[in-house]
């Protein structure tokens, strides 16, 4: 469905120090530098896959999405989406895709979302019967009945985002690019959006690429992740395997019937946190069974769970590794 | 988007655009109030003509001319340059570019859709002109009305295309709004908006006749007030539509090249 080979996207940016003097100097002499937003990445995505793009701010995730959506021309490399070259922006291509950006909107600000839906029906030339069916589905699944008649400006951020997603799906895109779709939403609304996105993917077999700083989004939606850091691809595989690679340790969460001191916990593993009635231990995954046996034998355990390290921590460690590697390569501390 | 699909989608674009113009009615009223320059010029020039006519214009002629100018200005308006500048700066142009229809069609539809609301202002002003000056301030035959309608369409197209070209320049520069302000100054001076172009001295008049500004507002106003016979009107309309063709080609070129640059540098 999506094929990317050696994609590079370099920008020439005007650099100017702050201050009036620098502003005046820039009138006659401008200095430029090249930013390597994406620096030679390759990957393939199969039809119907759900893939998460992960990376720190400025890693090149949104740039890659914009190249895939045809908004940016690659500096180098070959990109194909369902057989189309995105930069040509052919009608057939644009009718198959949609890019939803959490920080940009397509809804008409002073009109009810229903007007944007109707506009998109006309622009995408969606047959009336299909439009009605899709709209009914979207209204039902996203609970939009009371929202689509109100002016967009009167909707809350979460309500607007639900309508934004509905507007993006009126033409049933086969490829959906989602750039921070849950940014700024409360936890309940994030969960609603995730459930809906997953059901859309399963129902229509749509291919889905997601960028999000909320790891819950990625964990819930993306069996596969592609990690981009400073324009380079640093990981492509399952989320599970990534967690195993970066943090092979597991967390054993113990709920305790009586207080214990740290000295009794220390032999079991590294104590991550300890508060009355609960302790979290970090142990290597091969030692999990032994640790559980010893804990059950030596402590009064009322409940016990084994978890992976929080995804935020895993990603933080991965990005820190990348930064340290680059610093070492450049010879800086 | 193919032309066939664009034509099919256009009525919906107009319908939504009209809803937007109604939603923005307070803003529209403010905008209309900001176009009262012809009324000010009318007061000025009728005072000048109190003792003797200026050219062929007596006091009543100036009243008729400037009321017509005011009405025509409502009908040939476009604000695409400001819109394009805003959307390029905010990055929202990207959302338009994702749709299988050229944003230029969407901008055009938004401008045209405000036409009915503008008629609400233009018609009463025209009626006022008839009451104050007489029937000479409106075309006196079906052919006259037809020529006037063609000139309004041509005038709007020149205004829209000039806006589109200048707006598209924001794809190259940080902002082209200052350029639009320069264009507007030239428009005010050279279009017949502040005084009839026939009052220019002969040398300047020749230059004015070759520039596009007169064909935005001066020509429609002249045709509305029966300043030309049919043959002369057709000659001037040919000139006007020549400018429409030139600006259409220019718009396509600047827009396409600008989009390539936009896509190359960032959205």
Contact B97 A151 (CB under 8 A): no
B51 touches chain A (CB under 8 A): no
pLDDT of residue B95 exceeding 80, the answer is yes
pLDDT of residue A291 exceeding 60, the answer is yes
In a domain, A27, yes or no: no
B129: three-class secondary structure by DSSP? helix
In a domain, A204, yes or no: yes
In a domain, A28, yes or no: no
Dump pLDDT digits (tens) for A257-286. Answer: 888 888 888 888 888 888 888 989 888 878
Dump pLDDT digits (tens) for B200-210. Answer: 998 899 999 99
Q: Is A293 exposed, middle or buried (0-12, 13-18, 19+ CB in 10 A)?
A: exposed
Dump pLDDT digits (tens) for B215-253. Answer: 999 999 999 999 999 999 999 999 999 999 999 999 999
Whichever domain contains A291, its CATH number is 3.30.70
CA dihedral sign of residues A262, A265, A271, A275: negative
Residue A268: half-sphere exposure toward Cβ, Cα within 13 Å: 28
In a domain, A298, yes or no: yes
User: How is chain B split into domains, by residue range?
Assistant: 3-265
Tell me, what's the pLDDT at A229? 86
Contact B260 A95 (CB under 8 A): no
- Which of A115, A117, A114 has the alpha carbon at shortest distance from A145? A114
Would you give the DSSP letter of residue A182? T
Shared-domain flag, residues A266 and A234: no
A222, A243, A264 — which closes off a domain? A243
Better pLDDT: A34 or A4: A4
In a domain, A69, yes or no: yes
Which alpha helices (DSSP H) does chain B contain, by range?
3-23, 25-33, 37-48, 59-75, 80-90, 93-97, 103-113, 115-133, 142-168, 177-190, 202-210, 213, 219-224, 230-265
CA dihedral sign of residues A8, A11, A17, A18: negative
Shared-domain flag, residues A292 and A211: no
What domain count does chain A have?
Answer: 2
Tell me, what's the pLDDT at A332? 56
Contact list, A124 vs chain B (CB under 8 Å)? 99-100
Q: What is the complex's ipTM, to 2 decimals?
A: 0.80
Contact B95 A91 (CB under 8 A): no
Tell me, what's the pLDDT at B265? 58
Shared-domain flag, residues A273 and A216: no
| Average pLDDT, integer, range A194-206 | 91
Q: Which of left, alpha, beta for A269 (phi over 0: left; psi -120 to 50: alpha)?
A: left
Q: Residues near A127 by Cβ (< 8 Å), separated by ≥ 6?
A: none
DSSP H or E stretch at residue A197: helix A187-204
In a domain, A332, yes or no: no
Q: How far apart are CA A296 and CA A254, in angstroms?
A: 10
Q: What is the CA radius of gyration of chain B?
A: 19
| Average pLDDT, integer, range B125-141 | 89
Q: How far apart are CA B221 and CA B199, in angstroms?
A: 15
Contacts A–B by Cβ distance under 8 A: 81
Q: What proportion of chain A, given as a percentage, has pLDDT over 70?
A: 99
A243, A267, A297 — which closes off a domain? A243
Shared-domain flag, residues A95 and A231: yes
- Which of A220, A226, A167 has the alpha carbon at shortest distance from A197? A220
| Average pLDDT, integer, range B21-36 | 76
Q: Is A83 exposed, middle or buried (0-12, 13-18, 19+ CB in 10 A)?
A: exposed
Q: What is the mean pLDDT of chain B?
A: 90
Instruction: Work out the end-to-end distance of chain B between its first and last CA atoms, rounded to an integer number of angstroms.
Output: 21
Shared-domain flag, residues A279 and A219: no
Dump pLDDT digits (tens) for A134-149. Answer: 999 889 888 889 999 9
| Average pLDDT, integer, range B170-182 | 86
Better pLDDT: A127 or A261: A127
Residues forming a β-bridge with B57: B54
Shared-domain flag, residues A253 and A277: yes
Q: Which residues form the domain of A288?
A: 248-308
Whichever domain contains A214, its CATH number is 3.40.50.300
pLDDT of residue B264 exceeding 60, the answer is no
> What count of residues does chain A have?
333
Q: Which of A188-192, B76-80, B148-152 has the lowest mean pLDDT?
A: A188-192
| Residue A135 to residues A43, A98, A147, A170, A173, Cα–Cα distance (Å) | 34, 16, 13, 7, 14
A97 touches chain B (CB under 8 A): yes
Shared-domain flag, residues A141 and A234: yes
Highest mean pLDDT among A29-33, A37-41, A242-246, B36-40 belongs to A37-41
Tell me, what's the pLDDT at A186? 81
B5 touches chain A (CB under 8 A): yes
Contact B99 A105 (CB under 8 A): no
- Tokens for B203? 């040398």
Q: Residues near B56 by Cβ (< 8 Å), separated by ≥ 6?
A: B198
In a domain, A55, yes or no: yes
Shared-domain flag, residues A208 and A84: yes
A226, A243, A260 — which closes off a domain? A243
Shared-domain flag, residues A200 and A255: no
Tell me, what's the pLDDT at B249? 97
Contact B23 A151 (CB under 8 A): yes
Question: Phi and psi for A197 in degrees, rounded to 5?
Answer: -60, -40
- Tokens for B26? 């307070």
| Average pLDDT, integer, range A247-252 | 83
Angle value at C-alpha A143, between A137 and A147, nearest 5 degrees: 110
Supply the DSSP string of A129-144, one letter for each residue: HHHHHHHHHHHHHHT-
Which residue among A12, A104, A110 sits closest to B24, beta carbon to beta carbon? A110
Tell me, what's the pLDDT at B121? 86
| Average pLDDT, integer, range A204-210 | 93
Tell me, what's the pLDDT at B266? 54
Strands A97-101 and A175-179, sheet pairing: parallel
Shared-domain flag, residues A277 and A207: no
- Tokens for B47? 């005072």
Better pLDDT: A329 or B120: B120
Shared-domain flag, residues A204 and A298: no
Tell me, what's the pLDDT at A288? 86
Tell me, what's the pLDDT at A214? 82
Smallest CA–CA distance, residue A142 to chain B, in Å, is 22
Tell me, what's the pLDDT at B1? 60
């Amino acid at each position: 469905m999506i094929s990317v080979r050696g994609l590079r996207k370099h920008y020439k940016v005007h650099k100017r120090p702050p201050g009036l003097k620098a502003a005046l100097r820039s009138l006659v002499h401008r200095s430029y530098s090249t930013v390597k937003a994406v620096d030679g990445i390759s990957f393939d995505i199969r039809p119907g896959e759900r893939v998460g793009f992960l990376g720190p701010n400025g890693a090149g995730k949104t740039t890659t999405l914009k190249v895939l959506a045809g908004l940016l021309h690659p500096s180098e490399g070959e990109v194909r989406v369902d057989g189309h070259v995105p930069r040509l922006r052919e009608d057939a291509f644009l009718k198959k895709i949609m890019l939803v950006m959490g920080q940009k909107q397509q809804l008409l600000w002073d009109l009810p979302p229903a007007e944007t839906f109707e506009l998109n029906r006309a622009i995408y030339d969606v047959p009336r019967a299909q439009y009605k069916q899709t709209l009914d589905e979207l209204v039902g699944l996203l609970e939009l009945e009371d929202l689509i008649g109100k002016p967009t400006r009167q909707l809350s951020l979460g309500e607007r985002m639900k309508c934004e997603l509905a507007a993006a799906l009126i033409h049933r895109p086969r490829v959906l690019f989602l750039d921070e779709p849950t940014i700024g939403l409360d936890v309940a609304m994030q969960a609603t959006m995730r459930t809906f996105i997953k059901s859309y993917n399963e129902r229509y077999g749509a291919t889905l690429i997601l960028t999000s700083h909320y790891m819950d989004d990625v964990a819930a939606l993306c069996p596969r992740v592609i990690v981009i850091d400073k324009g380079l691809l640093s990981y492509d595989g399952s989320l599970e395997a990534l967690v195993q690679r970066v943090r092979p340790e597991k967390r054993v969460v113990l709920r305790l019937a009586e207080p214990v001191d740290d000295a009794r916990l220390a032999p079991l593993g590294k104590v991550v946190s300890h508060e009355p009635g609960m302790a979290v231990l970090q142990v290597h995954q091969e030692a999990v069974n032994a640790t559980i046996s010893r804990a059950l034998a030596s402590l009064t355990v009322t409940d016990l769970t084994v978890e992976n390290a929080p995804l935020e921590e895993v990603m933080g460690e991965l990005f820190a590794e990348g930064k340290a590697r680059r610093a070492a390569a450049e010879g800086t501390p | 988007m193919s032309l066939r699909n664009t034509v099919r989608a256009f009525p919906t674009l107009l319908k939504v655009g009209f809803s937007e113009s109604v939603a923005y009615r307070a803003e529209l009223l403010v905008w209309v109030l900001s176009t009262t320059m012809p009324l000010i010029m009318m007061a000025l020039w009728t005072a000048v003509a109190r003792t003797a006519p200026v050219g062929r214009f007596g006091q009543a002629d100036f009243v008729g001319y400037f009321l017509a100018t005011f009405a025509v200005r409502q009908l040939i308006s476009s604000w695409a340059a400001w819109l394009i500048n805003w959307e390029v700066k905010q990055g929202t142009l990207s959302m338009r570019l994702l749709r299988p229809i050229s944003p230029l069609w969407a901008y055009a539809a938004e401008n045209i859709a405000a036409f009915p609301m503008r008629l609400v202002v233009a018609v009463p002003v025209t009626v006022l002109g008839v009451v104050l000056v007489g029937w000479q301030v409106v075309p006196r035959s079906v052919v006259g009305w037809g020529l006037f309608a063609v000139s309004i369409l041509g005038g709007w197209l020149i205004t829209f295309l000039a806006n589109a070209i200048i707006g598209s320049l924001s794809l190259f520069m940080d902002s082209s709004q200052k350029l639009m302000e320069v264009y507007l100054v030239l428009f005010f001076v050279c279009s017949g908006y502040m005084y009839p172009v026939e009052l220019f001295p002969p040398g300047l008049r020749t230059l004015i006749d070759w520039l596009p500004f007169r064909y935005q507002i001066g020509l429609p106003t002249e045709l509305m007030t029966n300043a030309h016979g049919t043959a002369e009107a057709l000659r001037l309309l040919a000139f006007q539509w020549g400018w429409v063709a030139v600006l259409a080609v220019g718009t396509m070129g600047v827009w396409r090249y600008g989009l390539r640059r936009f896509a190359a540098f960032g959205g």
